[in-house]
Amino acid sequence: MNDRIDEITNNLSRKRISESTIRRLSLYYRALSLLEKEGYETVSSKELAKREKLTPAQVRKDLSFFGSFGTRGLGYPVAELRRQLAAILGIDRQWQVALIGVGNIGSALVGYKEFVRQGFQIVKLFDNDQRKIGSNHKGIVVSDIADLESELKADSIEMVVIAVPATVAQYIVDDVVNAGIKAILNFAPVNLRVPSDVYLRNENMSMELEYLSFAIVNQHAQKRVRT
Amino acid sequence: MNDRIDEITNNLSRKRISESTIRRLSLYYRALSLLEKEGYETVSSKELAKREKLTPAQVRKDLSFFGSFGTRGLGYPVAELRRQLAAILGIDRQWQVALIGVGNIGSALVGYKEFVRQGFQIVKLFDNDQRKIGSNHKGIVVSDIADLESELKADSIEMVVIAVPATVAQYIVDDVVNAGIKAILNFAPVNLRVPSDVYLRNENMSMELEYLSFAIVNQHAQKRVRT
């Protein structure tokens, strides 16, 4: 099993994976987790495709790319494929995450069960508000943002979620980068500059609504927007 | 100007636009808004590309597809291109949005300034918690979810954001669809079934973290993840 995953990872290291492929892997992983809970031992590409509103050909292509092949008439082994996808996505382990900015969005993220379920554990909180610093927020004591760099280093944090106002986000991300963090998810509606060896993702929830308004305004252009 | 946009919209109705293209249009729109504020009258494809970490060729391709061509040596007219993109994205107007589920995430979304800035106005809130129903939440009185269908119809709501627990999300979305809503943004971590004439987008914030964990685990596969 581990050899198999090493082989897949070696394969991956020679290929370039698109954003939408990774997104689909996350979707397959979710579908397989549910199928496993429902007691299924195998699943066909057709069934997986139906659950994720994709074509069976797309599913087979994606999974063969990652080294998994279904057996004709039997389909894919649910539990094993789920474990393989977890390893590929890097969610077969726990990640220590720090959240910066305990405002509206930050507070919602501390309680976001989906993070925990996928192995992302928020273990540190930072804010600059004196009323929040030192207070307990769902079991985590809020640290002073002034100590950001040193505390991130001391606590071997691997990922950081930024939920501060747009105006200060670049200063914050600079400190985060100086602390040696290589993976950042940014909720501030601003483009942040990071060195090329740092992975940065921007979450802008308004963009999803713009996708919907685009779809409505141009609805003759496409019958249905992929979800 | 309006003829121009009609022409573009007509063009669009014969083409199929990818998810990532629409995402890039949203990014260009943001960059142009900022450039306009900074006092720029024109912008080159090179500068736009730099701001959004894309290639100039990609920018020119996207914008030519939407009928906009820069002038050699001058670039694109900032204000006009911003207005054109707003019309294409359907954000040159206000959208009346209802939010269902005033929990952690719902509360954060009510205060999400980026929604208002892009023309998405949350004008109705629904919850099933008797302690919340009738209370005022940032200027909006929370309605009883039991009245969902009739109130959505009565208030000519055009878009709905669902922020309820996964276990009840399908029941809620059925009511929303019955009320005639055609555009839904879902935050519940579950795949919802909607008729083919309804546009549904799923926002799963954990997927962005999975993208980061994938990037770290497979970092030899790609030097840098697109943001």
Residues B107, B157, single domain; the answer is: yes
Helix (H) or strand (E) holding B22: helix B19-37
Nearest Cα to Cα of residue A153 among A181, A127, A125, A173: A181
User: Are B227 and A200 within 8 A, CB to CB?
Assistant: yes
**CB–CB of B114/A204 below 8 Å?**
yes
Task: Check CB contact of A202 with chain B, cutoff 8 Å.
Answer: yes
Q: Do B206 and A115 touch (CB under 8 A)?
A: yes
State whether A110 and A203 are in the same domain. Answer: yes
pLDDT given for residue B7 in this prediction: 60
Is residue B224 in some structural domain? Answer: no
Asked whether the predicted pLDDT for residue B131 surpasses 90, the reply is yes
Does residue B212 lie in a domain region?
A: no
Could you tell me the residue range of the domain that residue A28 belongs to? Answer: 2-88
pLDDT 10s digit of each residue in chain A, 227 long?
A: 556 666 655 555 545 677 778 888 998 999 999 999 999 999 999 999 988 878 899 999 999 887 777 777 789 999 999 999 999 999 999 999 999 999 988 998 998 888 999 999 999 999 999 999 999 999 999 999 999 999 999 988 999 999 998 889 999 999 999 999 999 999 998 889 999 999 999 888 898 999 999 999 987 444 444 44
CB proximity B5 to A under 8 Å:
no
| Counted domains in chain B | 2
Residues of A within 8 A of B37 (CB-CB) are: none
> Could you tell me if A19 lies within 8 Å of chain B, comparing CB atoms?
yes
> In this structure, what CATH number is given to the domain that contains residue A162?
3.40.50.720
Residue B38 contacts A where some CB pair is shorter than 8 Å? no
Q: What confidence tens digit (pLDDT) does each residue in B140-150 have? A: 999 999 999 99
Per-residue pLDDT of B79-124, as tens digits, reads 999 999 999 999 999 999 999 999 988 998 998 888 999 999 999 9
Residue A191 and residue A193: Cα distance in Å, rounded?
7
Query: Which one of B118, B199, B213 has the shortest CB-CB distance to A90?
Result: B213
Domain presence at residue A224: no
B163 touches chain A (CB under 8 A): no
Q: Phi and psi (nearest 5°) for A44?
A: -85, 160
Confirm whether B110 is domain-assigned. yes
Give the CATH number of the domain where residue B63 resides: 1.10.10.10
Closest-CA residue of B relative to A181 is: B216
What ipTM was reported for this prediction?
A: 0.86
A132 and A184 together in one domain: yes
d(CA B77, CA B69): 10
B43 and B83 belong to one structural domain: yes
Q: How far apart are CA A33 and CA A27, in angstroms?
A: 10
Partner residue opposite B26 with nearest CB, options A87, A118, A210: A210
